[in-house]
Amino acid sequence: MSSWPALGGPSTKLRFSTDLFVDAPAKPGRDGVTMDLLSTLPASNETLEPGAVLLRCFARNDAALIADIGRIAAAAPFRHMITPGGFAMSVAMTNCGQFGWITDRKGYRYSAVDPDSGKPWPAMPDAFRDLAARAADTAGFAGFAPDSCLINRYVAGARMSLHQDKDEADFAVPIVSVSLGLPATFLWGGAKRNDKPRRFRLETGDVVVWGGPARLNFHGVDPVTAGDEACRYNLTFRKAA
Ligand SMILES: O=C(O)CCC(=O)C(=O)O
Ligand SMILES: [Mn+2]
């Protein structure tokens, strides 16, 4: 990723505990008992611009996906990674798949092992892989086979500033981004950092896919607001190598 601004101040001033919500039980989402109305919403596709599509209500199995996140986090706990500039990110992160995205004082990169444990990242669940491939296909990118899934956890106040995803080997391969839990406001910018971003509200089950001419567009997330769920999760599927 490109330059991340200071979010939480120097790492010694980390404000979020790394173990918050790791064991929080998954609440029913759009496919759950308490949200029957939402589960009847039709899926719809919205083109943000050529190469970028918002698939609303695409992931119907959000509660099952959140349960999978819990299992992954039990093996590779969420942590607030440190930017090369020495600041803790407000978003807590973990990964699954062959490669995981990491940042520390040495820079942004992919790693085949979790630096906290020295072990490989947990395997990517088949349900994750299938969802990502179906979403990419629906958006017009057939044959997407991610080798990496970054899992972001946003508690209230956590945000992600405008950035490009550019640590991957091949920008011809698209990105699939799945929203789960609390809603969020997604910032969709342009090819240049100072292009004014448009804002889209993302709800649990919504998926954004971008590739082709939009592959390097700037994007980010406004501070998440507290709500009925403990937090927001985002799954970012990419082909790292
Ligand atoms: O949380 C999101 O919706 C976006 C996450 C993202 O852009 C990233 O992790 O690179
Ligand atoms: Mn990104």
Nearest to 186 by CA among 77, 92, 55, 61: 55
Q: Is 141 in the pocket of ligand 1 (CB under 6 A)?
A: no
User: Does a structural domain hold residue 57?
Assistant: yes
For the segment 111-117, the average pLDDT, to the nearest whole number, is 98
The tokens describing 26, both together, are 């998954």
Confidence band (pLDDT; 50, 70, 90) for 13? very low
- For residue 173, being part of any structural domain is answered with yes
Structural domains of the chain, count: 1
* 39 within some domain: no
What sign results for the dihedral spanned by CA atoms 7, 221, 155, 19?
negative
**Residue 183: predicted pLDDT:** 98
Please state the pTM of the whole predicted model. Answer: 0.87
The answer to whether residue 17 scores a pLDDT higher than 60 is no
Which pair of structure tokens corresponds to residue 71? 């299992």
Ramachandran area for residue 212 (φ above 0: left; ψ -120 to 50: alpha; else beta) = left
Range of the domain at 132: 11-33+45-238
How many angstroms does the Cα of residue 5 sit away from the middle of ligand 2?
14
pLDDT of residue 42: 76
pLDDT at 176 over 50: yes
103 alpha carbon to ligand 1 midpoint, in Å?
Answer: 14
Per the domain annotation, does 77 fall within a domain? yes
Q: Which pair of structure tokens corresponds to residue 169?
A: 């080997």
pLDDT at 41: 74
Pick from 86, 66, 61: nearest CA to 22: 66
> In CATH, what number is assigned to the domain containing residue 65?
2.60.120.590
In a domain, 51, yes or no: yes
The answer to whether the CB of 148 is under 6 A from ligand 1 is no
Predicted local distance difference test score (pLDDT) of residue 44: 86
The stretch 122-150 carries a mean pLDDT of: 98
Ligand 1 contact, 150 CB (< 6 A): yes
Pocket flag, ligand 1, residue 152 (CB < 6 Å): yes
pLDDT of residue 28: 42
Per-residue confidence (pLDDT) for residue 29, from 0 to 100: 46
The per-residue pLDDT for 16 is: 29
Query: Is the distance from CB of 127 to CB of 65 less than 8 angstroms?
Result: yes
